[in-house]
Chains A and B, each alone.
Chain A
Amino acid sequence: MIRKALGHMISCKDASRLVSRQEDAHLPLWQRITLRLHLSVCAACTRFERQLRFLRTAMRKYVE
C-alpha cells in the first residue's frame, strides 16, 4: 500500500489543487491518502493548507 502510494506521489501543484478542493468537498479516500502523504514530507504545502484555513476564517471575520 505504502509503496503503491509512493509510486503515486503528487507534485506541489497537484497537492495545492487538492488542498483547495478539500475546503469544499470530501475527497475520495485515495486522494486523501496521496495528499496526506505529500503533506507529510512537504513543509511548503503544509503551510499552504494552514493559510487556506486562515483565509476562510478571515473571510468570516471580514463581514462581521
Chain B
Amino acid sequence: MPFAPRSAMPSTNFSRDLDQHRGYLLRVARLQLRDEALAEDVVQETLLAALSGSGFSGKSSLRTWLTGILKHKIVDAIRRKQREPSVASTFGDIESELDIEDLDGLFKDNGAWEAKPAEWGDPETAFSRRQFFDMMDFCLENLPPNTARVFMMREVMGLETGEICKELAITANNLWVILYRARMSLRECLERNWFADKAAGA
C-alpha cells in the first residue's frame, strides 16, 4: 500500500497531461532545429525525461517546466550535430556565417545608413494578423541556418549569451556578430515585405 498505487495512478494522468503539450513542444523544436526527425527525437526525449524525472514542483506551469527540459535537449542536439562531420547536415561550419562584410552595404562609407530604417507606426497591431507570422517564418527561413539557430536560442529559448558561447564553443565576439546579422537581416526583411506595404497602403 505505501507507494505502489501512489506512483501508478498519478503517472497515467501525468502522461496524459504531458501529451497535451506535445504539439507545442514540437513546434518550438522544429523552429529551433529546422530538422523534422531531430525535432521529433528531442520532443520524445523531453517527454520521457519528464515522465521519469520527479522535478516538477508545480511552482511553474507544466509547459514552462517542459520548455526548460526541451531547451537542454535542443542544446544537446545542436552540440551533437555540430560535432558530426556529416556533409548532408545543415549544421555546417559556423565560421562561414561570421563574415558581416555583406552587411556593410547597408551603410555608406562614412557609416551613415544607406537606407534609413523607416517609420513602422504601431507595429504591435501586426500581431493580430496571422499573415504577419507567415512573413516572420519567411524572413527566418532566409537567414543562414546557424545564424537562425543561434538567434532562436537567444530570443526564443532565452539563453544567456554566456551559455550560448559555452554550448557552441564560439567566442563572445562571434556571437555578437551572428546576432547582429540576424537582427539586421530580419529587420530589413520585415520592413521590405510587411511594413513598407503598410505604409504605402496607409
Contacts and interface: CB of A to CB of B under 8 A. Distances in A.
Given A13-B107, A47-B120, A58-B127, A52 B161 contact: no
A63 B127 CA distance: 12
B190 to A, nearest CB: 8
Secondary structure call for the B interface: helix
A5 interface: no
A47 B127 contact: no
Interface in A8-64: 10-14, 16-17, 20-21, 23-25, 43-45, 47-48, 50-52, 54-63
Interface residues of A, number: 30
A30 to B, nearest CB: 17
B96 interface: no
Interface of B: 27-28, 31, 104, 106-107, 110-113, 116-120, 123-124, 126-127, 133, 136, 152, 154-156, 161, 175-176, 179-180, 183-184, 186-187, 190-191
A54 B155 contact: no
Secondary structure call for the A interface: helix
A37 to B, nearest CB: 15
Contacts of B124: 54, 57
A24 B154 contact: yes
Interface of A: 10-14, 16-17, 20-21, 23-25, 43-45, 47-48, 50-52, 54-63
5 contacts: A14-B111, A17-B180, A43-B116, A47-B116, A63-B156
A49 to B, nearest CB: 9
B89 to A, nearest CB: 24
B111 A13 contact: yes
Which of B104, B113, B119 neighbours the largest number of chain A CB atoms within 10 Å of its CB?
B113
Which of A11, A21, A43, A51 neighbours the largest number of chain B CB atoms within 10 Å of its CB?
A51
A36 B175 CA distance: 23
A54 B125 CA distance: 11
B119 A47 contact: yes
A16 B183 CA distance: 10
Contacts of A23: 179, 183
A48 B112 contact: no
Contact of B117 (A20, A48, A57, A62): A48
